[in-house]
A and B are shown apart, each in its own frame.
Chain A
Amino acid sequence: MNIFVCIKQVPDTETKIRIKGDKSGIETNDVKWIVSPYDEFAIEEALRAKAFLKTGTVTVVTVGPDRAVEALRTGLAMGADTAVHVRWETSCNVSIAKAVAEVVKKENGSVIFSGKQAIDDDQGVVFAYTAELLNWPSTSTVSKVEFGTDGKSVTVEKEVDGSARHKIAMNTPCVIAMTKGINAPRYASLPGIMAAKKKTVKVYSPSDLGLSDSPLLKDFDYELPPERKAGIKLSGEIPAQVAELVKRLREEAKVI
């Protein structure tokens, strides 16, 4: 079983976002880059699946500029066997999905893991689009993965809006996108980091995969949200404050 983990390098969650002067995107100088947290769950889950199946390989794959190789190194340090870097600075998630699909075809992937969305663009498009391009089934917001011992079938638990979870059975090949709570990703150990330096990162260009960038969406006019102004702090004894709050929520704000 060749498990491909599709990951994205994103700005750290504590990043204060600044917009470029022409509003065409965000400033990326001084940004601390990390592996998107949901993708870390996917890497961890892939390593656990390989351990359970006692066979196969875990490959981390990313589509991004030169710096994205650091995300792959993180995956390798956690324990992935190999990595694939499609060196392509594209903002189009459909291009990324096409690249991932081509890589997985070329490298004989048998299952794709990923996060349910990257925490920069919040779209959750790439894994599902890739699944459709490969004509594989897919399930997202997965909080549990259990493979059959032969690796041919897999049962996942999907978090559904509201309060329910669905237990869903699929056969491989398939795409599984993880949500938080599925596991606690391991930290890369020092030997892991050393070993990662010796592991191969295979590099593809878009043309190696027969692709060229033809964006389907045009992004523009990036803006910071209007600052919320601080309102009022109530004063007085706590019970009086609470009564005042409820009165204001009802009469002034009209929200209850």
Chain B
Amino acid sequence: MKVFVVAEHKDGKLKRVSAEVVAEFGRQGQEVTALVLGSGDLNAITGDLAKAGASKIIVLEHADLKDYSTEGYANAAHAYLSSQGAEVIASGGQGKDFMPRLAAKFGVGVANDCTSFGLASGKLTVRRPVFAGKCSKSVEFLKSPAMFTLRPNVVSSEGKTAAGTVERVAATPGAIRTKVAEVIASAAKKVELTEADIIISGGRSLKSADNFKILHECAAVVGAAVGASRAAVDAGYAPHAMQVGQTGKTVSPKLYIACGISGAIQHLAGMRTSKVIVAINKDAEAPIFQKADYGIVGDLFEVVPLLTAELKKLKG
């Protein structure tokens, strides 16, 4: 099959999810052509794509593609791909933003945020969660090209290095009618929740926004992201961007540490695919313990600082 992966990158680096998509196709014995949209020095990105297993890399170059934009990506990708006989077009997390517009240009459907995909006898089938993971379903594509985006962190990014022959093509991003007037960065550079290997989340028991600092201190030791329950967000202790659950983010880290989170259905939906779950809660009857691999019944204000100290010892 002719498979194209639209790569995502930020600050000159390939996003891991793009390597994950490419590597997973490779494991299934499928050759991949990667598309990199941008301008300037993109060598680190194309290098990493080759390492993940991309046999061919098309760099779609245009000054207007220096920064990501929904329309720029959809327009430029369509302009190139429409004459390539693409049968599958895949992307990662950011794809959720531009792939629907790209799909509309092709007049096909798109399945976002898939957790697995498989090729069999020339047909692609994806699996994806619905209701934030309360259930999942399979999706088949009735019209070519099949288009989907893969959720970050669900497959390995380690691929078999391929040739990664780079071809540079002048892109046509068309009119980009959204202008980024200003980038408002928050004070601290944080690890993105959906891409984090470790997440430490706090619930309403944190009692204040200020108290979240004990989670941040612990997170800093192991490079973790900090999350929050809906109760904590609704109480104003944490911004919505940190919310894990059905009206927040769905995450699948290697390790999820829930501190003072009781385990409401909508929260469990957002983190149940974590590899290992640790629960720290005063209430021994909290439902979260039914889902946790390891539980500590205790006051998070006592447990978390001890955990921070213990992890520091480990990291030397």
Interface, chain A (partner B; CB < 8 A): 11, 13-17, 19, 26, 37-38, 92-94, 97, 119-125, 128-129, 131-133, 137-140, 143, 155, 157, 159, 161-171, 174, 179-181, 215-225, 228, 230-234, 238-239, 241-243, 245-246, 248-250, 253, 255-256
Contact = CB atoms under 8 A, between A and B. Distances in A.
Contacts of B84: none
A219 B139 contact: yes
A249 B247 contact: no
B41 interface: no
Interface string B287-303: 00111111111100011
Contacts of B233: 180
Given A169-B179, A238-B296, A120 B130 contact: yes
Given A14-B265, A119-B131, A122-B132, A218 B189 contact: no
Interface stretch (B22-30, B50-58, B161-169, B271-279): B271-279
B302 to A, nearest CB: 6
Contacts of B138: 219-221
B196 to A, nearest CB: 11
B129 interface: yes
A140 B101 CA distance: 12
A238 B306 contact: yes
Contact of A93 (B109, B130, B255): B109
A123 B103 CA distance: 13
A225 B136 contact: yes
Given A216-B141, A221-B138, A255 B198 contact: yes
B240 A181 contact: yes
A119 B194 CA distance: 17
A181 B141 contact: no
Given A163-B190, A216-B142, A217-B140, A94 B109 contact: yes
A208 B222 CA distance: 58
Contacts of A174: 177
A162 B109 contact: no
Interface stretch (B32-40, B89-97, B203-211): B89-97
A170 B178 contact: yes
B100 interface: yes
B7 interface: no
B188 interface: yes
B120 interface: no
A218 B239 CA distance: 37
A230 B186 contact: no
A113 B143 CA distance: 29
27 contacts: A16-B134, A94-B108, A119-B247, A125-B100, A128-B70, A129-B104, A137-B71, A157-B184, A161-B194, A164-B184, A171-B177, A179-B240, A180-B248, A216-B141, A218-B142, A219-B139, A225-B134, A225-B136, A231-B277, A233-B295, A234-B296, A238-B306, A241-B296, A242-B307, A245-B310, A256-B222, A256-B255
A232 to B, nearest CB: 6
Contacts of A165: 183-184, 186
A242 B306 contact: yes
Contact of B137 (A38, A119, A222, A249): A222
B184 to A, nearest CB: 4
Given A162-B192, A242-B306, A248 B294 contact: yes
A126 to B, nearest CB: 8
